[in-house]
Structure 1
């Protein structure tokens, strides 16, 4: 062991060397890209953008630094549908709305309500499938000008879980200030 009590320069040098040896591994690991795979339904992408890609070919892209608000909320529309919606506002004029909707009373414990809803959904599914495979998928339907919002782009998702996954991906991108691409999976 070196006697550092008689030479303050040696003591200072050893302290700096010890600190440097402690910090070097941290600096190296910070520069090595993470090998942890992204969450299911997500992939790394351009670091400045959050994106959503949909099975039907739809695509939404926003610069993370320009997102001014993101919200998730639910409401009843026209006393007929429960709507769960994620809304993104950015510095531009366009507001993006992503939503999942289901008939009101879907989770009702009242047998007649459940039976009626099940029959209507079954009939709608059969009719749509007879017309075209995939026709029963929820689509954005607009009644101009009643249900159209100026400067709004809308995306309908097929499940509430998919909408929740999209929202979590968005929040993660905003929190980390790191781009990612959310991918709609399944139906």
Structure 2
């Protein structure tokens, strides 16, 4: 009887990590700082900034630019009723994107053949933080966001611009998670 192959070991570890993330997705991440329900309902923002410098430092400047140009207007739309740019007493929202990971191919994960799911994952990820900073510069809230989407979410693998579509899709959904995570709905 052959031992567990390296690929099998890595796949099993990845499956365990993904299932653990799915099971614990609603739990607070280490370092999370939540707004109180009252503070969340009264949240007013002077500005919204998207920080993609971690992506740029990893040599992902084109993806960083695309993510920022997608997330900023989406956040402005989502927080429109809370934006008060002229109020110096209002908080600032900083959304930092730390990582974008695209699966090596876009399609379903079945893989077919004798060993289903043995061909690697087909999930795209975006990871970062939503941070509320008070007028005094103190951090009032920090929520970690780890978004996982099927690589096929943004279209068929054979489209010439599929990687661009995937980054845009991740960015839009990531932005939609920010109010849910900050305002206590998730």
Same fold (TM over 0.5): no
Q: Scaled by the length of structure 1, what TM-score is found?
A: 0.26
Structure showing greater radius of gyration is 1
Q: Scaled by the length of structure 2, what TM-score is found?
A: 0.26
Structure whose residues are more often strand by fraction: 1
